[in-house]
Structure 1
């Protein structure tokens, strides 16, 4: 199950995030999204856990917890993929 983790500080590392989730079960992967120009964290990331029950426990336990003086947001990641763009319409005058 893919889990969204938001409101992260720019100093959060993937290793520290993995350790937080490993307390609830096996972690397949951790990815903190970074700005491609300066390599700073954008403040969110994703964690993948193979067991849905372990992932649900981690979500319930970690959502709202204070990490680096900020409450993090943890919930199921949207599995819908990219959203459709609205078609471009010209204005008629």
Structure 2
């Protein structure tokens, strides 16, 4: 199961995420999402776990807990097709809408 983790401290790295979820079961991947230009954390990440029961337990027990002085949100990750689209190239500039 793919798990989404929100509100991560900028000091949390991939290995930290793996260590947070490891007590609940096998972590197949752990990734903190970073800004391509700066390499700095964007404050969220994804963890993939092999066992669905372990994933469900981790979500239930870790959601709302504090990591690095920040309360994290832990939920099931939505597939890309289920997310709302963000059209940054709508053809209208900020100034056109303003005047």
Tell me, yes or no, whether TM beats 0.5: yes
- 5+ unaligned residues in a row in structure 2: which ranges? 93-99
TM-score by length of 2: 0.81
Is contact 2:17-2:31 (8 Å) kept? Answer: no
Name whichever structure is richer in helix by fraction.
2
Shift of 1:79: 1.8
Structure-2 residue corresponding to 1:4? 4
Q: How many residues align?
A: 89
TM-score by length of 1: 0.86
Distance (whole Å) between structure 1 residues aligned to residue 19 and residue 33 of structure 2: 18
- 5+ unaligned residues in a row in structure 1: which ranges? none
Distance (whole Å) between structure 2 residues aligned to residue 84 and residue 38 of structure 1: 24
Q: What pairs with 1:65-76 in structure 2 (closer than 5 Å)?
A: 65-76=65-76
Distance (whole Å) between structure 2 residues aligned to residue 11 and residue 73 of structure 1: 16
The residue matched to 1:8 in structure 2 has which SS? coil
Distance (whole Å) between structure 2 residues aligned to residue 85 and residue 4 of structure 1: 19
The residue matched to 2:24 in structure 1 has which SS? coil
Shift of 1:85: 6.2
1:36–1:60 distance in 2 versus 1, CA, 3 Å: same
> Considering only aligned residues, what root-mean-square deviation do their CA atoms show, in Å?
1.9
Shift of 1:31: 1.0
Structure-2 residue corresponding to 1:52? 52
Structure-2 residue corresponding to 1:33? 33
Shift of 1:83: 3.8
